[in-house]
Structures are given as C-alpha cells and as structure tokens.
C-alpha cells in the first residue's frame, strides 16, 4: 500500500466513524492570525471565547492596535497567558500595518507558500503552526498545521518518524499528505486525537485505525 492510498484509507475510516469534516470556508486572515495566537498553549474551550470577546469589544483591529496592552490582556484573561498574548497581538498588528499600510493580509494571496510562510513567521510570536493555520484556513494553501494531536497520532500511525520534532513535522506532513487531502487530514486527525488516540490511556480497543497503527501506546 502506497503512502497516499494509506492516508486515503485512514481518512475514509475516520470519516465513516466521525462523519465528514465541516465544509471548507475561508476565514478572514487577520482574524485567523489573532485566533490562532490566542489558541497557543491552551484549548479551544478557552481561546474561542477570548477571541469573541476581542471581536465584540473592538470595532476593528485598528481599534485593538490603539488600545493599551492591559486592556487586551483583560479581555483575553480567561484564555491564559494573557500578557504574553496581548503583547504578541499588538506587535503583529503593528507590524502588519507598518508593512502593508493597513491591517490587512490580502497580499499574501500573491505569494507562494514559502514566501507567505516566511512573511508570517517573521511576525513576533508566530510559529509554524500559527502561520500554517492562516495559510490553510484563510487562503486555502496546501500547508499542514501540526498541533499536539496531529503530532502524536501521525507518529503512532507511522506517517512520520518517531524521532521527528514537531517543527520538522509541519514540513514533513505538508509534503507527505496529498495536497487535496490536507484540510480533511488536519480536521480528521485532530478529532481522532481528541476522541480516541489520547495522549494518556488511548482507546486502542475501540480504534477504527488500530490495524493500521504501527506504534500502539507510543
């Protein structure tokens, strides 16, 4: 079985078990950037409400840029690491406005994946996962964002090597997963990691991928 056919089989089994992923719909790039910064080192349960509080409080990202860091930190406090994330948000907004003349990332459309990735990663506090989320969810570019669930499950399935670091996993999975399957793979593997292939006490006995798993309990 080739790597591509194995990945296709994995996705078919996951989607039969959990249902198809939500239809792809592009998100505003700056929104996606801020949302993903807020998600760093916390769960969606904490970060999503923090993002909605920012959007409700500020009429525009220009308004957020003009606000004090302490005001932003107060709004996102329940998301965790509020001071660090408030600083990163203000720094990113300021740098984008400096480069583009406005807080807008539409120009990334014209760049190839490598150039767009370098642009985003040059912003303070933006790592490979945050940059990849913006490129995938806002521009539909074939880049794989790798969170802890994807990193863990991909290793257990033997899709990436067990000794590979998480930063290198972004590039490895971006090249290994067929471009047209990246979105489905990203959402499907995250859901599987949350429901079944947990970090501690994975539910191997009820796992639809067990026969394809090369490293149970890794």
Q: Flag whether 217 is in a domain.
A: no
Residue 18 and residue 40 share a domain: no
Q: Which of 123, 139, 155 is the last residue of a domain?
A: 139
78 band by pLDDT with thresholds 50, 70 and 90: confident
- pLDDT attached to residue 43: 86
Query: Known catalytic residue: 69?
Result: no
At 102, phi and psi to the nearest 5? Answer: -160, 165
Residue 175 and residue 109 share a domain: no
Q: What is the CATH number of the domain that holds 104?
A: 1.10.340.30
Residue 132 and residue 46 share a domain: yes
Q: Which of 76, 105, 139 is the last residue of a domain?
A: 139
Condensed to tens digits (0 to 9), the pLDDT of residues 162-210 reads 899 999 999 999 999 999 999 999 999 999 999 999 999 999 999 999 9
Contacts 24+ apart (CB under 8 A), 16-23: 16/208, 17/208, 18/188, 18/191, 18/192, 18/195, 21/183, 21/184, 21/187, 21/188, 21/191, 22/187
Q: What is the CATH number of the domain that holds 10?
A: 1.10.1670.10
Please give the average per-residue pLDDT across 30-51, as a whole number.
94
- pLDDT attached to residue 216: 57
Structural domain containing residue 98: 29-139
Within 13 Å and on the Cβ side, how many CA atoms surround 137? 20
Q: Flag whether 15 is in a domain.
A: yes
Residue 129 and residue 63 share a domain: yes
Q: Which of 91, 117, 139 is the last residue of a domain?
A: 139
Which structure tokens are listed for 42? Answer: 């916390």
Per annotation, catalytic residue among 85, 90, 129, 155:
129
217 band by pLDDT with thresholds 50, 70 and 90: low
Residue with token string 């806002």: 138
Run of H or E residues at 92: helix 82-100
Residue 217 or 73, more confident: 73
Please give the average per-residue pLDDT across 35-59, as a whole number.
94
Within 13 Å and on the Cβ side, how many CA atoms surround 176? 17
Which structure tokens are listed for 83? Answer: 């001071």
Condensed to tens digits (0 to 9), the pLDDT of residues 104-162 reads 999 999 999 999 999 999 999 999 999 999 999 999 999 999 999 999 999 999 999 98
Residue 218 pLDDT more than 70? no
Residue 135 and residue 151 share a domain: no
Residue 208 and residue 112 share a domain: no
Q: Flag whether 218 is in a domain.
A: no
Residue 67 and residue 48 share a domain: yes
């Amino acid at each position: 079985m080739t790597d591509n056919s194995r990945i296709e089989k994995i996705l078919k089994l996951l989607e039969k078990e959990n249902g198809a992923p939500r239809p792809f719909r592009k998100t505003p790039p700056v929104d996606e950037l801020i949302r993903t910064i807020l998600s760093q080192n916390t769960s969606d349960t904490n970060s999503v409400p923090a993002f909605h509080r920012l959007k409700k409080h500020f009429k525009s990202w220009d308004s957020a840029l003009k606000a004090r860091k302490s005001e932003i930190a107060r709004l996102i406090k329940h998301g965790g690491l509020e001071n660090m994330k408030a600083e990163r948000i203000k720094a990113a907004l300021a740098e984008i406005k400096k480069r583009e003349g406005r807080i807008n990332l539409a120009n990334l459309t014209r760049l190839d994946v490598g150039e767009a990735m370098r642009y985003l990663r040059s912003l303070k506090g933006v790592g490979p996962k945050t940059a990849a989320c913006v490129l995938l969810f806002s521009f539909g570019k074939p880049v794989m964002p790798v969170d802890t669930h994807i990193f863990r499950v991909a290793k257990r399935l033997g899709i990436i090597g067990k000794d590979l670091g998480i930063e290198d996993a972004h590039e490895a999975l971006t090249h290994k997963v067929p471009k047209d399957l990246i979105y489905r793979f990203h959402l499907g593997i995250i859901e599987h990691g949350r429901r079944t292939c947990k970090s501690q006490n994975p539910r191997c006995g009820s796992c639809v991928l067990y026969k394809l798993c090369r490293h149970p309990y890794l």
